[in-house]
Homo-oligomer: A and B are copies of this chain.
Amino acid sequence: MNGAECLLRTLVNNEIGTCFMNPGTSEMHFVAALDRVPGMRAILCLFEGVCSGAADGYARMLRKPAATLLHLGPGLANGLSNFHNARKARSPIVSIVGEHSTRHLRYDAPLSADIPAFASGVSDDIHVVRQGDELGDATLAAIGAAVKPPGQVSMLIIPADISWSDAGEPVAAMAFPTREEAGDDAVHEAANLLRSQQNVGLLLGGTALTGAALEAAGRLVSATGVRVFADRNAARTESGRGRFQPCRIPYFPEPARQALAGLRHIILVEAKPPVSFFGYPGCPSDLLPEGCEIHHLAKIDEYGPSALAALVHECGCGKSHTERNTQAPTPLPEFGDLTPDTVGAVVSALLPEGAIVSDETVSSSAPVWNHLLRAAPYDHLPVTGGSIGQGLPVALGAAVACPGRKVIALEADGSGMYTPQALWSMARESADVTVVVFSNRRYGILDVEMRRTGAEGFGPAANKMIDIGRPDLDWVMLSQAMGVPAARAADTEEFRRQFSHAIGEHGPRLIEAVLAGS
Which residues in A have some Cβ–Cβ distance to B below 8 Å?
21, 23-26, 28-29, 31-32, 34-35, 42, 44, 46-47, 49, 73-75, 77-78, 80-81, 84-85, 88, 100-101, 103-104, 107-111, 113-115, 117-118, 120-122, 160-161, 164, 233, 272, 275-281, 285-286, 383-387, 389, 414, 417-418, 420-421, 424, 427-428, 445-446, 449-450, 452-456, 458-462, 464-466, 468, 470-478, 480-483
Contacts and interface: CB of A to CB of B under 8 A. Distances in A.
Contact of A278 (B104, B458, B474): B104
A417 B421 CA distance: 7
A5 to B, nearest CB: 10
Given A46-B468, A80-B74, A84-B113, A26 B278 contact: yes
A88 B110 contact: yes
A255 to B, nearest CB: 17
A456 B32 contact: yes
Given A42-B464, A46-B414, A418-B78, A32 B450 contact: yes
Contact of A461 (B42, B453, B465, B472): B42
B474 A480 contact: yes
A74 B78 contact: no
Nearest to A87: B113
Contacts of A445: 25
A468 B21 CA distance: 13
A25 B453 contact: yes
10 contacts: A28-B446, A32-B456, A32-B462, A34-B459, A104-B278, A107-B275, A110-B386, A117-B120, A474-B480, A477-B478
A390 to B, nearest CB: 10
Nearest to A32: B455
A34 B35 CA distance: 55
Contacts of A446: 23-25, 28, 31
Contacts of A454: 164
Contacts of A460: 35
A480 B483 contact: no
B120 A277 contact: no
Contact of A462 (B26, B31, B108, B483): B31
A77 B80 contact: yes
A115 B84 CA distance: 11
B464 A44 contact: yes
A46 B386 contact: no
A462 B34 contact: yes
Contacts of A121: 73, 77, 113-115, 117-118
A458 B281 CA distance: 59
A478 B420 CA distance: 11
A467 to B, nearest CB: 8
B114 A279 contact: no
A443 to B, nearest CB: 8
The 6 A-B pairs with the shortest beta carbon distances in the complex, nearest first, are A471-B483, A104-B279, A35-B459, A74-B387, A77-B80, A101-B279
Contacts of A120: 114, 117
B111 A386 contact: yes
A383 B277 CA distance: 38
A91 to B, nearest CB: 14
Contact of A44 (B44, B110, B122, B468): B468
A278 B385 CA distance: 35
A458 B109 contact: no
A465 B70 CA distance: 12
A285 B109 CA distance: 9
Given A35-B459, A471-B482, A473-B424, A109 B449 contact: no
B277 A465 contact: no
A453 B73 contact: no
A8 B10 CA distance: 53
A155 to B, nearest CB: 13
A160 B279 contact: yes
A111 B462 contact: no
B84 A160 contact: no
Contacts of A281: 161, 164
B278 A100 contact: yes
Contacts of A77: 77, 80-81, 84, 121, 387
B277 A110 contact: yes
Nearest to A69: B465
Contacts of A389: 47, 78
A474 B465 contact: no
Contacts of A109: 275-278, 285, 386
Given A47-B418, A75-B81, A111-B278, 20 more contacts: A21-B465, A25-B278, A28-B453, A29-B453, A32-B456, A42-B461, A46-B414, A49-B78, A74-B386, A77-B121, A100-B279, A104-B275, A109-B386, A161-B281, A417-B424, A420-B421, A473-B481, A475-B481, A478-B478, A478-B482
